[in-house]
Structure 1
Amino acid sequence: MVPRYTRPEMAAIWAPENRFRIWFEIEALAAEAMAKLGDIPPESARAIRAKGGAKLTAIGPADLERIDAIERETRHDVIAFLTWLAEAIGEDSRFVHLGMTSSDVLDTCFSVQLVQATDILLADVDAVMAALKARAFEHKHTLTIGRSHGIHAEPTSFGLKLAGHYAEFARNRARLVAARAEIATCAISGAVGTFAHLDPSIEAHVAEKLGLSVEPVSTQVIPRDRHAAYFCALGVVATGIERLATEVRHLQRSEVREAEEFFHPGQKGSSAMPHKRNPVLSENLTGLARIVRAAVTPALENVALWHERDISHSSVERAIAPDATVTLDFALARLAGMMEKLTIYPERMEANLGSLGGVVHSGEVLLALARAGILREDAYRIVQRSAMATWTQLGQPGGRDFRANLEADPEVAGRVPPALLDAAMESRQHLRQLDAIYSRVFGEPGPAA
C-alpha cells in the first residue's frame, strides 16, 4: 500500500490489529460452538471470550511487537498469535484452536476482510454513479460529436456519453455484489477438510455469526477459484475507471477542449510552462487501473494449488489483496470527485460539431436521398462524393460546405426536396430517442428539453 493512494478506512481493514481481532473472533466463536457440543467446558469458552476479548480490544504496539517477536522464533504467524493469546487467557487456552488448522483461521479471516473491503468499494461505486447521473441529467440535451476511430461520426448528447458510463458502473456494482457473495465463505474443517477432529456444526456456527456461508468442500483451504473471480471483478471495475478517465483525457486535449478537470486556484501544471492545464487526475487513474489489473493474473495462478494445499498463494495474497482494494478504493473516490467538478464546455462541443462543414450528417442525408427515390448504392456514391469534396476543401479559399456541395451535384439538384435536406442536417434529431434510452438506464426519462 502506497500512502499517497491510501484512504484510512480501507487501510484499517488490512492493519494487523483488525486481522488479529478477526482471528480471535473466529477462535472464540469456535470455542462457543465446541462448548455447546460438550467438547469443552462452557466456563472455558466464556473465559476465552472475556480474557481474549479484553486483550484484543486493547491491543497496541507493544502487543504487535510481542507477536512479531514470537513469530521470529516460531516462523509461523498463527502459532505466534495463539502463543500471545495464551499468555492472556491462561489455563483455558488449551481449548483454543482445538482440532483446527491455521488455514481455518487464515482463510476465514481473509473472507471477512474481503467482505469488509467490498462494502467500502460498493459505497465508492455508488458515489461514482451518483456523480455520473447528476451530470448526465445536467447535460442530457447538450449536443456533441460522437467519434468512432477517433474521427467525427454523428451528433450525440454529452449526457448520453455519461449515461453509458453510468450503465457500465451499474454492471460493475452487480459484479462486486456477486464477487462479495462468492468470497463470503468460511472453512473450519481441519487439516485436509475432512472434519477429522471437528463437528461441521462448529463451522456452521462460525459462518453464521460472521455473516458467511460454509464452504461446501474445502481442502486445507478455501478453493482459490473464488478469489480469482473476486480479483477479476476488481480488474473489470478498474478498467471501467480507465475507460472514463481516457474519455476525459481525450476531451481535454487542446485541439478538442470540450471538457477538462477542474483546475484549482493556485494549482500549477508544469514547472517549465506556466500555461499548462494537464489532465493529471485522469492520467493518474489510468495508472492506478493498471495496478489493480496487475492482481488478476497472480490470482488466477493461485487456483492450481498442489493437492489439498500448498503455500504458494499466501505471499501473493498478502500483496495483492491490500494493494488492489486500497488502490481501487482511492481510484473510485478520485473518479467521483473528478466527475462532480468536471468543467464542461458546450460551446466548444458546438464548434467542433460544425468544424467539418456538415459531413457528420452524411448518414442522415443518405437516408434522405433513398427516401427521395434514389437507389441506396447510388445515394451512397453521391453522398460520399460530396462529403469527400467537403473534406478535402476544408479551410481552403472557395471551399464549399457539405450542403452546398450536395446542392451543386446534378444528381441531387431537382431530385431531393430542400425540406428533406433541411431535416437531414438538423443535429437535434439524433437526440429524439433520449427519453427511451434514459428510461432504460435510470428508470426515468430525465429532464425535458
Structure 2
Amino acid sequence: MTQMIHRYWSKEMRFLWETNSRKFYYWLLVELAVLEARENLEEIPKGVHARVREIFESIIDSMPNPMFQEFWDQVTSAIEKRDRTIHHDLNAFIEIMRAMIILSNNDFRAMIYEVDDEKFDKMLENALAHVTDNSDASYFHDGMTSYDTEEPALALLFQDSCSFINNGIAKLEMALKSRAVKHRGQLMVGRTHGQHAQPITFGIKCLNWLDMVQRSQMAIWESARKYEVMKLSGAVGVYGTLGPEVEECLSKRLRLNPVIATQIIPIDYRARIVSEMAIFSSVIEKIANDLWLMSQTEVGEIREPFGKKQKGSSAMPHKKNPISLEKLRGLSSIVRGFSIAMNELIATSHERDISHSSAERIIHQTVFAVIDHQISVLTYVINEMTVFPEKMLENIEMTYSTISSQKLEMLLKEKGIGAEEAYRTVQEACFEAVNKKIHLKDIIRNNSPVFELVETGVLTYEEIVALFDWREWIQNEDFIYQRAGINKDVVE
C-alpha cells in the first residue's frame, strides 16, 4: 500500500504516516502520561514516572524534528519484528518498551539490532522474564486495554494531520484570492449545461471556487475539533480497572476531551472527518474539471503549467496535455470511495470487534496523503497557469451575441409585447443568428414585431445596441467581491 501511494506523498505527510514511527511515538506519550496521572493519584509508587520518562527522554526530545533519529527507527523495526511473531502490534510495543526500561542501554541496543529473528525473540523474552511485580516496567500499560493507548494517540495523529491539511488549504485560498483579484473585470462567457449562457468574469468564477474551498476548510476543521477526544475506560468502557479520575488527569495532560466509549471511541468521529475530506476532494475535482474544460483546444482560455522539458504525448509531440488537472479528478474517486468504507466501519459488533482496524490502517494514510497532494497540485496550477484574456473575449462572440437574449426579451416585454410572443421572437432570432452567422442585433431589428416597434418609435435601435454592452452585465461585480470580503481597492 505504501509503495502504491508513495508518489503522492509529501515529505511532511510521509513523516506522519509512512511508517509506524509517529504512531509508536504517540503511544509512548500516552503511556507516560498515564504513569504520571496514576502517580499523581498515588496509585503507583512515587518516582516511577520520572525514572521511566528519563529512559525515553532522548526519544521524546527528538520527535519534533522532521527526521526521526536512527535509534527510534530501529526501535520501530524491533516492534514490527515482534508483531510478526505475536500478531498484536500494541502488545509488541509494550514488550519492547518494557525491555527498554529493564535492560541497560547497551543490552537493549544489542537486542534491537539483532538480525536473527530467533535470537531476537529469545533476548526479548529473557528480558521480559525479569519484569517483576512492583518493578517500574510492570506499571507500563498496567490496567489498560489496547485502545486506551491507541485512541488518544490516533486523535493526536489526526490533529497533526488535519493541522497540516488546514495550512495547505490556506495556501490554496490565497492562490484563488490572488487570481480573483487579478482577473476582476475579465469578461468571459458563463456556461450552463455546457452551453454559452450569459457574461461573467473570470474573477467571479475564481470567487465561486474560493467560497467552496473556504466552506470545506471550515467543515474539516470543525469535524477535526469534534474529534479532539480520548478514552481510558477499559476493555468495555466501564472503568473496570482504572477509575475515571485517571482518565480525567490524562485528558488534561493531552488536551483531549473524554467521551462515552466502549473498548473504542465510536468510529463516526473519524468517519465525519473522512466524509468532509471526500466533499473537499469533490470540490477540488469541480475546480479541476472547470479548468480542464477551459483548457480544451477549441476553448483555449487557460493552460495548466507545462515545463520547459516536459513531454505531453509519446506519440504526438505537439500536445500539452492537462495531466495535473486530470490527476486531480481521478484521485477524488479514491477519497470518496474511502468515505463510503469509513461509514460502513461504524457498525462494529457490540462493544468492539476488529473489522474496522485493518481497513482504517489503509484509509487514514491514503486519504490524508491524497488530499494533501491534491491541495498541493491545485495550488500550483492556480498560481502558475496561463490565462488567455483575449480568447475569453473572443469566445463571448462565438454565438453572435445571442447570450444577451434574456435582456432582449425583457426589453420587448417592457415595450408592450406579450411574454410568450417576446420569448418566441427572441428565440427565433437567436437561432437564425447562429445559423446564418450574423450578429443578433442585425437579425432582431428586421424581425416583426420588433421592426414595427422601431418604425413607430416605441423602440430605438440604440436601445437594442445597448443590450450588447457586456460591461452592463457585470455592473454588480463589486457587490459580489464585497460579499467575498474583498474590497474594491484590493490589488494583487
Q: How does the TM-score come out when normalised to structure 2? A: 0.87
Out of 20, 25, 34, the position equivalent to 2:24 is: 20
Which amino acid counterpart does residue 380 of structure 1 have in structure 2?
Answer: Y
State how far apart, in whole Å, the 2-side matches of 1:11 and 1:42 are.
39
1:155-176 CA deviation, whole Å, 9 max, x = no partner?
0001100100000001011011
State how far apart, in whole Å, the 1-side matches of 2:137 and 2:95 are.
9
Q: Is the 8 A contact 1:19 1:109 kept in 2?
A: yes
State how far apart, in whole Å, the 1-side matches of 2:465 and 2:254 are.
66
What is the aligned partner in structure 2 of residue 434 from structure 1? Answer: 477
SS of 1:42's equivalent in the other structure is coil
Q: Is the 8 A contact 2:441 2:465 kept in 1?
A: no
State how far apart, in whole Å, the 2-side matches of 1:136 and 1:377 are.
39
What is the aligned partner in structure 2 of residue 316 from structure 1? Answer: 359
State how far apart, in whole Å, the 1-side matches of 2:59 and 2:183 are.
56
- Counterpart mapping for 1:50-129 below 5 A: 50-54=54-58, 57=62, 59-90=71-102, 91-129=135-173
Out of 26, 38, 42, the position equivalent to 1:38 is: 42
SS of 1:156's equivalent in the other structure is strand
Q: Is the 8 A contact 1:52 1:85 kept in 2?
A: no
SS of 1:154's equivalent in the other structure is strand
SS of 2:445's equivalent in the other structure is helix
Out of 3, 15, 34, the position equivalent to 2:6 is: 3
Out of 208, 223, 228, the position equivalent to 2:252 is: 208
Q: Is the 8 A contact 1:137 1:446 kept in 2?
A: no
Out of 412, 415, 418, the position equivalent to 1:372 is: 415
State how far apart, in whole Å, the 2-side matches of 1:315 and 1:108 are.
18
Q: Is the 8 A contact 1:369 1:379 kept in 2?
A: yes
Which amino acid counterpart does residue 38 of structure 1 have in structure 2?
Answer: E
User: Where does structure 1 lack aligned partners over 5 or more consecutive residues?
Assistant: 395-399
1:97/1:368 Cα in 2 relative to 1: closer, same or farther (>3 Å)? same
What is the aligned partner in structure 2 of residue 413 from structure 1? Answer: 451
- Give the Å deviation of 1:62: 2.9
- Give the Å deviation of 1:199: 2.1
Moved over 6 A (4+): none
- Give the Å deviation of 1:372: 1.7
What is the aligned partner in structure 2 of residue 235 from structure 1? Answer: 278
When the two chains are superposed, the root-mean-square deviation of aligned CA atoms in Å is 1.5
SS of 1:385's equivalent in the other structure is helix
Q: Is the 8 A contact 2:52 2:101 kept in 1?
A: yes
User: Where does structure 2 lack aligned partners over 5 or more consecutive residues?
Assistant: 63-68, 103-134, 454-458
Q: Is the 8 A contact 1:224 1:302 kept in 2?
A: yes
State how far apart, in whole Å, the 2-side matches of 1:323 and 1:151 are.
37
State how far apart, in whole Å, the 2-side matches of 1:175 and 1:443 are.
22
State how far apart, in whole Å, the 1-side matches of 2:255 and 2:373 are.
26
State how far apart, in whole Å, the 2-side matches of 1:324 and 1:186 are.
22
State how far apart, in whole Å, the 1-side matches of 2:14 and 2:236 are.
32
State how far apart, in whole Å, the 1-side matches of 2:157 and 2:275 are.
17
State how far apart, in whole Å, the 1-side matches of 2:274 and 2:6 are.
21
Out of 45, 52, 64, the position equivalent to 1:48 is: 52
What is the aligned partner in structure 2 of residue 257 from structure 1? Answer: 300
Q: Percent identity?
A: 29
Deviation larger for 180-189 or 304-313: 180-189
Q: Is the 8 A contact 2:24 2:76 kept in 1?
A: no
